[in-house]
Structure 1
Amino acid sequence: MEEIAAGRAPQEPGVVLCECFAQEGVRQEASAVPAEARIALIGRIAECGFRRIEVAGFTESRQAEAEAMLRGLRRCPGLRVRAACPDLQVMQRVLAAREGGWGPDEVTLSVSASEGHSQQAFGRSRAERWAEVAEMLALAGDAFTLTGIIDAAFDCPRDGPTPQERVLEDAQRLAELGVTRIAIGDTFGSATPPRVRDLIGWLHGALPTATFIARFGDGRGTGIANTLAAVEAGLTHADGALGGAGGSAAGLASTEDLATALEAMGYATGLDLAALRAAGLEAERLLGRRLASRVIRADSQD
């Protein structure tokens, strides 16, 4: 794969990948992964060249763990540390962490484009969730870089296909609230490249100054294809997880495979591919099982 990447066409504008394994990749593991082990892996991830890493989620059951993670991290110059923030009470704790000098640089807040998924994920209707998010944003002010995630942007098992108009409406609402970094979440891994290109075209046309982020699940094996379709449609940011691990319904696209494909297509990622594959193998050792990276498996057969 390195030989393919070396023979690529001249580089086009780069794609910034955010590595989410330390949060998304472990949050639903049957056995807890010690914070110390995740901190060590994050160090290896940072050495690959990532500028954004999602390191923790301040969920009710894991707030102490998230705080331990953030306190223990070694902050590298130029690295932005991201954390997930689910509700208003947690936002208060994240602000306290920031004021203490060890909080995240960036915070994600999620909404769902599906009523059924909103009830399932947040225990609230869409209207109630939006009211909560508005309060969270008002409390956060300019303490962090804020990223909004629109979950179920393509389909929901309960409600069926998500109308594009609703995703656009949610993106516009986030922008009106001051959030212009917006991740489009294929939570259930059911999108297809044509649907992705179509939706991204709509979003770019309506909100040309927003930064959209591809955040695609891989439940049907199309996470990489959909992310590449989003990049070809103009996106310059994407989320992934080592080995395709993830706590969402589908697991995020494999970062190792995605970075290798992007480099081979001429999109610079700024990542050391060999170091990234080594980090992927370490993630497998950490979880004690084989993950879904095709690149790691292909290299092991060389």
Structure 2
Amino acid sequence: MSDLPSDAELEEITGSAAPAQAEVALGECLLSEALLAEAPVPAEAKLALIKAIAGAGFRRIGITNLLDPERHAQFADAEVVLRGATRRPGLILQAQCPDLLAVRRALVAQDGGWGPDEVVFSITATEADESWSHLTEMVALARGQFTLCGIVGAAFDEVTEPATVLAAAERLAELGITRIAIADGSGVATPPRVRDLIGWLHGGLPTASFAARFADRRGTAIANTLAAIEAGLTQADTALGGAGGFCATEDLAAALEAMGLGTGLDPAALRRAGRAAEQALGRSLHSRVLRLDEAASPA
């Protein structure tokens, strides 16, 4: 017996049924962000995970983070991972770029023929002008060289108004950033607030491509992501097993499948990738789908 919500329960969670024929593209963030909370993983294991994740059918994979390697050992092998990562038509490889040095490293990798397809910049919705000035420098260096993606953090904090999030998204769009993830890192969002904010964003910036990015710190990531999809989003960022506090990729994919929404992912290959992630990290993660598989297997 599955403990995944039924179609009727999913309707109740989100407030109404999601569009019947929608397709939702999931972006995998385990290797670019969730590893910040983990002990370093060997580059060989990361490359094997990228291959497994790509084999499950993902279109977008965050494969590394160009944080200072002296301060963040989890990503000290970023160039090795970029060089060795699986590449194929239609697969977008992302790298996080937190500062100007990171952008320069991405450009060096590109000059060598093994750079990322996309670079990702982060800003909180209430960030000061000085941070925006730094971001503007980074974007100017990267513009025309990579596809640019942005993350608006703290989008659902109590002090953050929808108009403030919209203003941040508009500033990103003015900088030429084409894909904008709306993030709830603290897990305080609720489905009604999600639907309200997505409405603001669609109304104020209809040409932008938005993605849902919800932490599961209060067990609400799937409900909030489904609310965002019901409000019109067709992209979501997740991490295998819910690593790093993200919404668990396997569980969201299973919920979407139960609703008749395609993700383009192979469920069996996705579960194999989830188990490979657990093996690489040396511990069980938080995917209910994987735990149900274990419970259903003969002892």
> Please, what TM-score do these two structures have when normalized by structure 2?
0.89
State how many pairs are aligned: 279
Match 1:209 to one of 189, 207, 224: 207
Name the counterpart of 1:287. 281
Q: After alignment, is 9-18 or 93-102 more displaced?
A: 9-18
Aligned equivalents of 1:90 and 1:41: distance in 2? 23
Name the counterpart of 1:260. 254
By how many angstroms is 1:161 displaced? 3.0
Paired residues for 1:51-66 under 5 Å: 51-61=59-69, 62=72, 64-66=76-78
Q: After alignment, is 72-81 or 51-60 more displaced?
A: 72-81
Match 1:39 to one of 41, 47, 51: 47
By how many angstroms is 1:291 displaced? 0.8
- Contact 1:10 / 1:266 at 8 angstroms: preserved in 2? no
Q: What's the CA shift string for 1:10-41, capped at 9, x where partnerless?
A: 96131111111112221221x21111101101
Name the counterpart of 1:153. 155
SS in 2 for 1:239: strand
Q: What's the CA shift string for 1:200-258, capped at 9, x where partnerless?
A: 00000011110001011111010111111101100011100000002xxxx11000001
- Contact 2:173 / 2:208 at 8 angstroms: preserved in 1? yes
Name the counterpart of 1:276. 270
- Contact 1:24 / 1:245 at 8 angstroms: preserved in 2? no
Aligned equivalents of 1:39 and 1:161: distance in 2? 40
Q: Percent identity?
A: 59
Name the counterpart of 2:13. none
Name the counterpart of 1:120. none
Letter in 2 for 1:300: E
- Contact 1:41 / 1:279 at 8 angstroms: preserved in 2? yes
Q: What's the CA shift string for 1:31-80, capped at 9, x where partnerless?
A: 21111101101101100000110000000125641111101112122111
**Would you say 1:18 and 2:24 are equivalent positions?**
no
Aligned equivalents of 1:80 and 1:180: distance in 2? 14
- Contact 2:125 / 2:160 at 8 angstroms: preserved in 1? yes
Q: What's the CA shift string for 1:84-140, capped at 9, x where partnerless?
A: 00011221111111121101000100001235xxxxxxxxxx211100111111111
> Please, what TM-score do these two structures have when normalized by structure 1?
0.88
Name the counterpart of 2:117. 105
- Contact 2:54 / 2:86 at 8 angstroms: preserved in 1? no
Aligned equivalents of 1:145 and 1:137: distance in 2? 10
Paired residues for 1:187-202 under 5 Å: 187-202=185-200
Match 2:146 to one of 144, 147, 169: 144
SS in 2 for 1:74: coil
Letter in 2 for 1:59: L
Name stretches of at least 5 consecutive residues in structure 1 with no aligned partner: 116-125
By how many angstroms is 1:299 displaced? 2.0
Aligned equivalents of 2:148 and 2:137: distance in 1? 14
Name stretches of at least 5 consecutive residues in structure 2 with no aligned partner: 8-17
RMSD: 1.8
Distance 1:10 1:198, change over 3 A: closer
Distance 1:10 1:239, change over 3 A: closer
- Contact 2:147 / 2:178 at 8 angstroms: preserved in 1? no
